Amino acid sequence: MINKVKIDVSKPGGKISKYIYGHFSEHLGRCIYDGLWVGRDSDIPNSNGIRRDIVEALKKIRIPVLRWPGGCFADEYHWKDGIGPGKDRIKRMNTHWGMITESNDFGTHEFFELCELLGCDAYVAGNLGSGTVLEMQDWVDYISCAKGTAMSEERKINGREEPWNLKFFGIGNENWACGGNMRPEYYADLYRRYQTYVKSYPGTSVLKIACGPNEDDYEWTDTVMKLASRHMWGLSLHYYTLLNKNFSEMGDSERFGEEEWYKIIKNTLIMDEYIKNHSKIMDKYDPEKKVALVVDEWGTWYKAVEGTNKRFLHQQNTIRDAVSASLHFNIFHQNCERVRMANLAQTVNVLQAVILTYGKSMIKTPTYHVFDLYKEHQENISIKAEHECSEYKGIPRINATASMDEKSGSIWISACNVDPFEAVDALIEISGIDEVTVTSARMLAAMEITACNTVENPENVKIREFKEFNVKKNSIALRFPPGSVITIGIN
């Protein structure tokens, strides 16, 4: 059989929001402290305590939005602990992630400074689980009100004259579990109440995001949409890719065999089913698709690397994670009319991180490189990509996505080969164009299924120019190496 990817330029779909390439950073393990934040006195080059090499790396992949401070941490975070002179900041226990002392050295000012350095939008997750309505109202006031309130005056005393741009505000996190163990009816009522006091001050417009379902909890979606959809910009969805559901088998992030590769690929694809089913329920209450589905936590989750604190969720990242990330993006693109934001869990040192740090060393993971390959799709119009392809254990080997940059007319095609051992010869046919010129072709591939980057070998898995293709009129013949991800740009 000839493996084919068929792309029809005359069949444009929705816009691929840049926010699909968003990130999530929590006060968890070494994500903030010893990750993004090294402190002002560190000998690691930093801007006011924020690690510069990480900022540069994230800018390169055009990070569009950063969600903070949690996660489960968000519903026990009291923002006033983290403002003012460092010595006065209140110390608390991070009860969810390892019962360690939270210094609150990294707070609202540091977070917004980080967003400004990154040139990205801010997505702040508010505390509905253990915080008051007034506390939430005051936080939004402190951040975004220009003048004339006690909160805005306090911000100025603390060194920031101008308000910050608060683009997205989440009202609670996982309120069905760590965020208060609520029933959906109860959460929907609380959501309606809390969101009333999340104000858009003159010149601002805060987009509110409600806590949505876990995985396949369709009842949660139905109830929250029925009772509260009028009051939200977005509804979140959390789905982590595990070896087995319910954390019953965690697996190792760096030592695994083909069976574990296959399970991760198979379970990644469930994301599509969940998105489609939740979208169908959302359509009932919101047929015009005004409410965005915000996949604000996604990624692979394995047991923590041996010798590290189990509650720090530190894992290695291999070419398997890169293929999983590529599948995620293809799924988000396909469903982009509803999915208008997604946030990888998490940016640095936690779960499917794009960056790992070890002292002064900073490593870009294979997942980082997939963000790099796919950044060309940000804000493009999606184009239908269909496959006719041989299968790997019941899964089509090649999984592709395509988009068009409306301004330049360039078309971008990204695809992965999910088979860890077999190369695949394929033909990409592009209808709607007579003659194709390839302007760029880049690939991520590795010799072993467990290939990863380490301090000793930080460039073991890296993007290379891809040359093994032949263009004939409107089709491109190419060979996908096993377990690879490729992005091709054409005019």
Query: Which residues are marked as active site?
Result: 174, 297
The answer to whether 318 and 38 have CB atoms below 8 angstroms apart is no
Q: Is the peptide bond before 352 cis (omega within 30 degrees of 0)?
A: no
In angstroms, what is the minimal distance from the CB of 29 to ligand AHR? 9
Cβ at position 369, least distance to ligand AHR in Å:
22
- 35 lies in the site for ligand AHR, by CB under 6 A: no
Task: List beta partners, residue 477.
Answer: 427, 470
The structure tokens listed for 227 are 């009772």
In the shown chain, the binding pattern of residues 229 to 258 toward ligand AHR, with x for contact by CB under 6 A and - for none, equals ------------------------------
71 near ligand AHR (CB under 6 A):
yes
- Does position 414 interact with ligand AHR (CB under 6 A)? The reply is no
**CA dist., res. 315 & res. 304, Å (int):** 5
Q: Which stretch binds ligand AHR (CB under 6 A): 98-106, 323-331, 345-353, 451-459?
A: 345-353
Contact 316, 461 (CB under 8 A): no
Q: Is 174 in the site for ligand AHR (CB under 6 A)?
A: yes
Residue 478 touching ligand AHR (CB under 6 A): no
Tell whether residue 75 is a contact of ligand AHR (CB under 6 A).
Answer: no
3-class state of residue 246 by DSSP = helix
**Nearest-10 crossing angle of helices 184-196, 133-144:** 40
Which residue among 297, 379, 419, 429 contacts ligand AHR (CB under 6 A)?
Answer: 297
Instruction: Number of residues interacting with ligand AHR: please give it, by CB under 6 A.
Output: 10
Which tokens in the block code for residue 333? 């693109």
Distance CA 323, CA 345 (A): 16
173 binds ligand AHR (CB under 6 A): yes
Tell me the window of 66-74, 248-256, 321-329, 456-464 that interacts with ligand AHR (CB under 6 A).
66-74
Which of 13, 49, 70, 163 lies at the binding interface for ligand AHR (CB under 6 A)?
A: 70
Q: How far is the CB of 35 from ligand AHR (least distance, A)?
A: 14
- Write a three-state SS string for 423-448: CEEEEEEEECCCCCCEEEEEEECCCC
Task: Based on the shown chain and the rule CB under 6 A, indicate whether residue 180 belongs to the binding site for ligand AHR.
Answer: no
Q: Quick one: 129 or 482, whose CB is closer to ligand AHR?
A: 129
Asked if 225 and 185 count as a contact pair (C-beta separation under 8 A), the reply is no
Mark the segment that binds ligand AHR (CB under 6 A) among 34-42, 98-106, 343-351, 365-373. Answer: 343-351
By CB under 6 A, name the one of 72, 166, 430, 451 that touches ligand AHR: 72
Could you give the residue ranges of the DSSP H alpha helices within 119-253? 133-144, 150-157, 184-196, 218-228
Q: How far is the CB of 178 from ligand AHR (least distance, A)?
A: 6
Which listed range, 43-51, 69-77, 115-123, 226-234, lies at the site for ligand AHR (CB under 6 A)?
Answer: 69-77
CA 173/CA 187 separation, integer angstroms = 11
Burial class (CB in 10 A: 0-12, 13-18, 19+), 116: middle
Q: Cα separation of 382 and 278, whole Å?
A: 21
Tokens coding 176: 């069905």
Which lies closer to ligand AHR via its Cβ, residue 27 or residue 442? 27
Q: In angstroms, rounded to a whole number, what is the distance separating the alpha carbons of residues 200 and 198?
A: 7
Among residues 21 and 312, whose Cβ is nearest to ligand AHR?
312
Alpha-carbon span 170 to 5, nearest angstrom: 39
Q: What is the C-alpha to C-alpha distance for residues 329 and 301, in angstroms, rounded to an integer? A: 17
Q: Which residues contact 56 (CB under 8 A, 6 or more apart)?
A: none
The stretch among 68-76, 102-110, 333-341, 430-438 that binds ligand AHR (CB under 6 A) is 68-76
| Sole binder of ligand AHR in the list 7, 26, 151, 484 (CB under 6 A) | 26
Please give the residue whose beta carbon sits closest to ligand AHR in the complex.
Answer: 71
Choices 65-73, 264-272, 282-290, 480-488 (CB under 6 A): range interacting with ligand AHR: 65-73
What is the contact surface with ligand AHR in residues (CB under 6 A)? 26, 70-72, 173-174, 297, 345-346, 351
